Structure 1
Amino acid sequence: MLIVPEALIAGLVTAEDAFGAIEACFAAMARDEAYNFPVIREALGEGRQYGFKSGLDRAGGVMGVKAGGYFPGNAAKGMINHQSSVFLFNPETGRPTAMVGGNLLTALRTAAASAISIDRLARKDAKVLGMVGAGHQAQFQLRAAAKVREFEKVIAWNYHPDMLPKLGEVTAELGLPFEAVPLDRMVEADVIVTITSSPAASLMSAHVSPGTHLACMGTDTIGKQEVEPALLARARVFTDEVAQSVTIGEAQHAVAAGLIRAEDITPIGAVIAGLAEGRQSDDQITLFDGTGVGLQDLAVASTAVRLAEERGLAIKVEV
């Protein structure tokens, strides 16, 4: 078995690597060459969550599981709140093949999924990027979004405004102007990325203009919610996996309210594979419900293992 520790990931996997791996993963799902197993999530109290996401990619010859969760007290201890590890297995024999640090990979694969949705669904002339959320993953989201559209400005809102200067630093690195705004100013955005861990909606339908693309990336558990359900009723909704979208994703609330049905949601992989249409008009609102599927984690972990092997950095142990 090979071990690729967390400390090596930053020097191995780039945002471009993650983008390619996740795009191929979504397309394989749409072609029924890969599928996710049921998600197991457990609330541990005090905001802590732990669980398992797993799946099998027949095309890539990969089977595995990501174990981890969200621990909001970690920041005070000098650690990021999201903690995870990915374990890969030979799908023919069940033997373990690799253990990979999953913290940075989670941020990279989440940002890649969002960027893929922007690349495939946002208007080509999108100029203003709106960010709702300013936590650890928001910086990855911002950088990834800036790679697929030539934005001219970034506006942002966060429940804790004191965290917004971090995003301002990133936009300065990208050479873009930045402005902290109230939520009602999100009507100015052509693309909005939501990346919060909120239990209640913050972005309302009235905050979103026609023609906007939204990448809603924070809701991955029953009870979480970033946007008003009425917004999904206005939008053409896409997702990584429909089953997760309607049970633990942003769509859970709109479906429960009877505003949309599972049949109304299109897998983004179908757009990538040419099996479904993407944006249909310039004034259409498109919304990507990024729930985060296990196959995404396996895809980027497999990429990390391959690169580590090529560079002689993977640690080999007998099991």
Structure 2
Amino acid sequence: MIIVPEAAIANLVTPEASFAAVEKVFASMAAKSAYNFPVIREAIGHADALYGFKSGFDRAALNLGLKSGGYWPGNADKGLTNHQSTVFLFDADTGRCRAVVGGNLLTALRTAAAAAVSVAHLARRDAKVLGIVGAGHQAAFQLRAVAAQRPFERVVAWNRSPEKLSGLREVAEGLGLAFETVSLDDLGAQADVIVTITSSFDAILGADQVRPGTHLACMGTDTKGKQEVDAALLGRATVFTDEIAQSTTIGEAQHAIADLTLRLEDIVELGAVINGDHPGRSSDDEITLFDGTGVGLQDLAVAAAVVDLAVERGVATEVEF
């Protein structure tokens, strides 16, 4: 069995590699050669933690396994990341455990990569202004990954506590992008692409705050009840997702489906666009929205790439198991 610890991940994976792995997974899912198993996510009644499993199997890549982990809100006080996870990969031919991989940085990178893939395939080509809603740990990853997909010139951002946007400003300016803290109204009026990355259970962005032609990537924490944007916005938009089942139960589409603003058959798998089975954006005035729910296959794909590279570079630890 191969062990790749969390400390080794940063030197083994890049945003570009994460993008390629996630894009390939979305294509495989749409082609029905890869599928996710039902998600388990539970409040454990200790440390206010949410804990769960995401798993699946990609027949094309032979990636079989699961990510185990969750959210411990008190970890920041202990000098730890609130999100903690580990990826387990299994040999699809024998069922033996092939690898154990640290999953914290991988989760951040694959989440950012999913938003980036959506921007690459759905945003207007002339997009110049990137809007970010949220300033948590994941926001900087989103900014770096998405900024590489279009010739952005400026970043406009909003957070409930504006002072927390200072770190995001540093990232933007490090990328050579002007940065401005704005109101939600101004963000919607200026942004060509909007990424929401919060843990909200109440809509932050309203349908009337988003202008025609905008692409949105809703990437915040997915669980029953979560909501980052008004359900009416999904009614105005063409809605894409990584997996329809998760989008409608724990993702951004759950509220729009419940109040009949959106029909199940109106939601499109992003992989269908990647495969050429759906045209994606149809006009410069169309609002497109990607509901990124974070599927287990993404974790497996990026983890498998890390394992292969760790073995190639001789930095993997192998143990009898």
CA deviation map 1:211-251 (0-9, x unaligned):
00000001411011111100000000000000110011000
Q: Within 5 A, what are the aligned runs for 1:78-93?
A: 78-93=79-94
* Aligned-partner residue type, residue 307 of structure 1: L
TM-score (norm 2): 0.98
- Looking at structure 2, the residues matched to 219 and 135 of structure 1 have their Cα atoms a distance apart, in angstroms, of 11
What does residue 144 of structure 1 align with? 145
What does residue 159 of structure 1 align with? 160
- Looking at structure 2, the residues matched to 298 and 254 of structure 1 have their Cα atoms a distance apart, in angstroms, of 30
CA drift of 1:47 comes to: 5.1
- Looking at structure 2, the residues matched to 80 and 103 of structure 1 have their Cα atoms a distance apart, in angstroms, of 8
Count of matched residue pairs: 319
What does residue 186 of structure 2 align with? 185
* Aligned-partner residue type, residue 3 of structure 2: I
Structure 1 runs of 4+ off > 4 angstroms? none
CA drift of 1:50 comes to: 0.8
Q: Structure 1 residue 24 and structure 2 residue 21: aligned?
A: no
Q: Structure 1 residue 68 and structure 2 residue 69: aligned?
A: yes
- Looking at structure 1, the residues matched to 210 and 78 of structure 2 have their Cα atoms a distance apart, in angstroms, of 37
CA deviation map 1:132-165 (0-9, x unaligned):
0011110000000111111110000012222100
What does residue 301 of structure 2 align with? 299
Q: Structure 1 residue 243 and structure 2 residue 245: aligned?
A: yes
* SS of residue paired to 1:171: helix
CA drift of 1:6 comes to: 0.3
- Looking at structure 2, the residues matched to 184 and 98 of structure 1 have their Cα atoms a distance apart, in angstroms, of 47
* Aligned-partner residue type, residue 56 of structure 1: F
What does residue 133 of structure 1 align with? 134
Percent sequence identity is: 66
TM-score (norm 1): 0.98
- Looking at structure 1, the residues matched to 221 and 141 of structure 2 have their Cα atoms a distance apart, in angstroms, of 17
* Aligned-partner residue type, residue 22 of structure 1: V
- Looking at structure 2, the residues matched to 232 and 128 of structure 1 have their Cα atoms a distance apart, in angstroms, of 21
What does residue 96 of structure 1 align with? 97
* Aligned-partner residue type, residue 273 of structure 1: N
* SS of residue paired to 1:126: coil
- Looking at structure 2, the residues matched to 185 and 41 of structure 1 have their Cα atoms a distance apart, in angstroms, of 36
Unaligned runs of 5+ in 2: none
* Aligned-partner residue type, residue 304 of structure 1: V
* SS of residue paired to 1:154: strand
Q: Residues 200 and 226 of structure 1 are in contact (CA less than 8 Å); yes or no, is this contact kept in structure 2?
A: yes
What does residue 36 of structure 1 align with? 36
Of 245, 262, 265, which residue of structure 2 is paired with 1:263? Answer: 265
- Looking at structure 1, the residues matched to 44 and 200 of structure 2 have their Cα atoms a distance apart, in angstroms, of 17
The structure-2 alpha-carbon separation of the partners of 1:279 and 1:79, relative to structure 1 and needing over 3 Å to count, comes to same
What does residue 3 of structure 2 align with? 3
- Looking at structure 1, the residues matched to 210 and 77 of structure 2 have their Cα atoms a distance apart, in angstroms, of 34
* Aligned-partner residue type, residue 32 of structure 1: K
Q: Within 5 A, what are the aligned runs for 1:46-57?
A: 48-57=49-58
- Looking at structure 1, the residues matched to 193 and 231 of structure 2 have their Cα atoms a distance apart, in angstroms, of 18
